Structure 1
Amino acid sequence: MTSVSYALDVLSEAVVDLAAIAHNTRLLTRTAGSAELMAVVKADGFGHGMVPVARTALANGAGWLGVATPAEALRLRAAGIDAPVLLWLYPPDHDFGPVLAAGIDVSVADVAVLESVAADAWKSGRPASVHLKADTGMSRGGAVAPDWTKLLDAARRLEEAGTIRITGLWSHLATAEDTTDAGLHEQIRQFADFRHAARAAGVLAPVVHLANSAATLHLPQTRHDLVRTGIALYGSEPVPGRTFGLTPAMTVRARVVSVSGPLAQIPLGFADGIPWRASGRASFQLHGVRVPVVGRITMDEVVVDIGDLPVRPGDTAVMFGPGTAGEPTAADWARWADTNPHEILTGIGARVVRRYLSHSEPAAR
């Protein structure tokens, strides 16, 4: 059994291998070719820790950071990170002053919002950097075709007035992992139409971006000037049935707290992000062997059937890791819970202590 050290009061931990983040960033940067890489670090870096992941990605080839909310963007600036940052989710009637003062780019898909951004930029005395988002079919926060022309006209007018700078044009793919999906190719075609309309309106943005993780890896025609990589950055392969050499960066493990006959109690439950739906399907790894979860996953703990394994309190049980030592992976847990790896990774709760490695460490057994 691999020896694993914990702080005395730690029941469970998520070990984040920053060397894996670095490897994945370099791999994605090479794959992107001439396109820059945006490391998407929203949701606290998919549960891995926004700031350590951002710094690692930037040190290994990423040129941009992507977040959902203003609070996330400002957290990066508070940490001293001055790389270009794009945010795309904010409440109605939001005061953009703080993010504009911090030099953060804002995604806009509505004329009224664009005018609000411009008004806040005028107050701040510096133009706002905006990315105009088109809805090519995902129906998630973009301008549909009839409204795109109005958005372009307003953007050009406000740029001429000096209150905004049109930095980017972008959209989001819904099914980039499946090249046989007709909707994917329709989205790519529509994005080309949106770009043509922008050129016809005299709107020239220096950064055009469409590709997510899956598209970055296997749809070169979508890479344009910038690619946005989220789940792949953390080592989860985004295209079913294909592997690209990504390395999972997180291992979640806990100490056995009690043993009773063939049953061992592990202090991880659905309050820690262990999906209740995986009850009766999932397994952990103990002493290099996968052991099944028995009974229901509760708020604070799970029970596993260890058979005749010589397990003692204090031994390490691995929920998931890279899979290189036979332990379950986040993809396994996603399958057991009928979800995706994104939900598994982002769901790991605050009680699970994060610990960071700058070098790879063998998985606990």
Structure 2
Amino acid sequence: MREALIDLAAIEHNTRTLRELTAAREFIAVVKANAYGHGATDVARAALAGGATRLGVADIPEALALRAAGVDAPVIAWLHGPGETFAEAMAHDIQLGVSSLEQLHAVAATATAGPAVVHLKLETGLSRNGIAPQDWSAVFAEAARLERDGLVRVDGLFSHLSNTSPDEDRVQVRRFEVGVAAAEGAGLRPTVRHIAATAAAVALPESRFDAVRIGIGLYGLSPFSEGDSAAAVWADLGLRPAMTLRARVAAVRRVPAGQGVSYGYMHRTDGDSTLALVPLGYADGVPRQASGTGPVVIGGRRFHVAGRIAMDQFVVDVGDHPVSVGDEVILFGDPAAGAPSATEWADAAGTINYEIVTRIGARVPRTVVTAVAAAAPTAAAERG
């Protein structure tokens, strides 16, 4: 009754398009959080087929899951909790992001069968994890010593931009360049310098360095808000959303005027009307905050959620439009195929499109397809 269709051809196309645009020597496809909800193993393979040279994940278990599935491309995992152990990661050739002197020592202490491959993360202004500028000199000197001792190999230096504005990002890029120069002055020779995620990779060419890390763009979703100066550039790229979330009508009910719908009666029917029950709810990742506003397409026509989204279901008031049990309901997908977008759902819920796709839960099966089609809605079907 519920399903997320994942178009791997779109993933491959998006990867190839962004690789050509950025012309970076290395392309890191970010498949953390189960590839933003799309399925990490399938997406990783599609991205590699599209030209990705490395994969990026948040933590070691995500990296090990890729290895267990037979993915042997270079993988970097960059977020580690206190007391993290690195032996299994090193045994499976996982590259490690290192954000402090303590982490560097912990990684080196585990390197018994050859040097650990590390990427040193520099704090350049996002105020999250990363080696603080006042500690750069000490960490770089220690990393160089550990390289001489054969315990680590510093393959990369990286950071993360705030995406506050182009000017703010340029400040961070300059700080990163200072850090790179300091690392090289300490004798380190990293082969991969990377700071740009999707937004900067598209809109800030000077941030591309040796590699770009592409997350949301891989899935065909924009990191730019409407009116952003880079939004037009993004639109011209022709990227395709890779996820379509759909279900089938589970029940149909004809009700009189004034009938309350769902918890709290946020919605009451204007006249005699047909209500369609959709078996998706906030337990599946459909945001409750989009109650009354989330768009759907049924039978080629567009409607909105009527009343509150519940844990497992929501209702659509279709008026006099003919709807039957089993009819397809598309929540979001590719607007070019007539579907609402994940961004529309994000706007309805007061969040970002990243969250909409990433939060789709395990109860929703992922089905791999090569293309997703949806009937275009008619303007006359647009309902409040």
- SS of 2:200's partner is helix
CA-atom RMSD, angstroms? 1.2
CA distance in 1, matches of 2:372, 2:294: 24
- The one-letter amino acid of 1:229's match is I
Runs of 4+ in structure 1 displaced over 2 angstroms? 239-242
CA distance in 1, matches of 2:154, 2:219: 30
Residue 258 in structure 1 maps to residue 251 in structure 2: yes
CA distance in 2, matches of 1:325, 1:54: 25
Structure 1 residue 361, shift from structure 2 partner: 3.0
* Structure 1: unaligned runs, 5 residues or longer: 1-10
CA distance in 2, matches of 1:259, 1:291: 15
Q: How is 1:343-362 mapped onto 2 (pairs within 5 angstroms)?
A: 343-357=355-369, 359-362=370-373
Q: How is 1:61-72 mapped onto 2 (pairs within 5 angstroms)?
A: 61-72=51-62
Structure 1 residue 36, shift from structure 2 partner: 1.2
TM-score by length of 2: 0.89
Q: Give the stretch that moved more between structures: 247-256 or 167-176.
A: 167-176
CA distance in 2, matches of 1:356, 1:34: 29
Structure 1 residue 327, shift from structure 2 partner: 2.0
CA contact (8 A) 1:255 1:313 kept: yes
Q: How is 1:172-183 mapped onto 2 (pairs within 5 angstroms)?
A: 172-175=160-163, 178-179=165-166, 182-183=167-168
Q: Give the stretch that moved more between structures: 75-84 or 232-241.
A: 232-241
Q: How many residues align?
A: 349
Partner of 1:363: 374
CA contact (8 A) 2:338 2:375 kept: no
Q: How is 1:24-103 mapped onto 2 (pairs within 5 angstroms)?
A: 24-103=14-93
* Structure 2: unaligned runs, 5 residues or longer: 226-230, 255-273, 377-384
- The one-letter amino acid of 1:56's match is A
CA contact (8 A) 2:116 2:153 kept: yes
Structure 1 residue 314, shift from structure 2 partner: 0.2
CA distance in 2, matches of 1:29, 1:42: 19
- SS of 2:196's partner is coil
Deviations 1:137-164 (A, max 9, x none): 0112111110111110110110110000
CA contact (8 A) 1:316 1:364 kept: no
Partner of 1:245: 238
- The one-letter amino acid of 1:224's match is F
Residue 133 in structure 1 maps to residue 121 in structure 2: yes
Partner of 1:326: 338
CA contact (8 A) 2:161 2:196 kept: yes
CA contact (8 A) 2:122 2:176 kept: yes
Q: How is 1:264-303 mapped onto 2 (pairs within 5 angstroms)?
A: 264-303=276-315
In structure 2, relative to structure 1, the CA distance for the partners of 1:234 and 1:138 (3 Å cut) is: same
CA distance in 1, matches of 2:328, 2:86: 47
Which of the residues 132, 136, 156 maps onto 1:168?
A: 156
Deviations 1:218-267 (A, max 9, x none): 21111111110000000002223332221000000000011112211000
CA distance in 2, matches of 1:345, 1:292: 19
- The one-letter amino acid of 2:373's match is P
CA contact (8 A) 2:31 2:56 kept: yes
Q: How is 1:295-314 mapped onto 2 (pairs within 5 angstroms)?
A: 295-314=307-326
- SS of 1:306's partner is strand
Q: How is 1:169-208 mapped onto 2 (pairs within 5 angstroms)?
A: 169-175=157-163, 178-179=165-166, 182-208=167-193
CA distance in 2, matches of 1:343, 1:238: 12
Instruction: Using the aligned pairs only, state the percent identity.
Output: 48
Deviations 1:308-353 (A, max 9, x none): 1110000000010111233211000011111111110011111111
CA contact (8 A) 1:256 1:315 kept: yes
CA distance in 2, matches of 1:111, 1:277: 42
Partner of 1:235: 220
Structure 1 residue 19, shift from structure 2 partner: 0.7
Deviations 1:70-129 (A, max 9, x none): 11000111111111100011221111000001111001021111011001012xx11100
Deviations 1:284-313 (A, max 9, x none): 111111111111000000101111111000
- SS of 1:208's partner is strand
Structure 1 residue 184, shift from structure 2 partner: 1.5
Residue 150 in structure 1 maps to residue 138 in structure 2: yes
- The one-letter amino acid of 1:326's match is G
Partner of 1:21: 11
Deviations 1:143-193 (A, max 9, x none): 1110111110110110110000000000001116x42xx322211111111
Which of the residues 200, 211, 214 maps onto 1:226?
A: 211
CA distance in 2, matches of 1:245, 1:238: 14
CA distance in 2, matches of 1:291, 1:87: 42
CA distance in 1, matches of 2:372, 2:168: 42
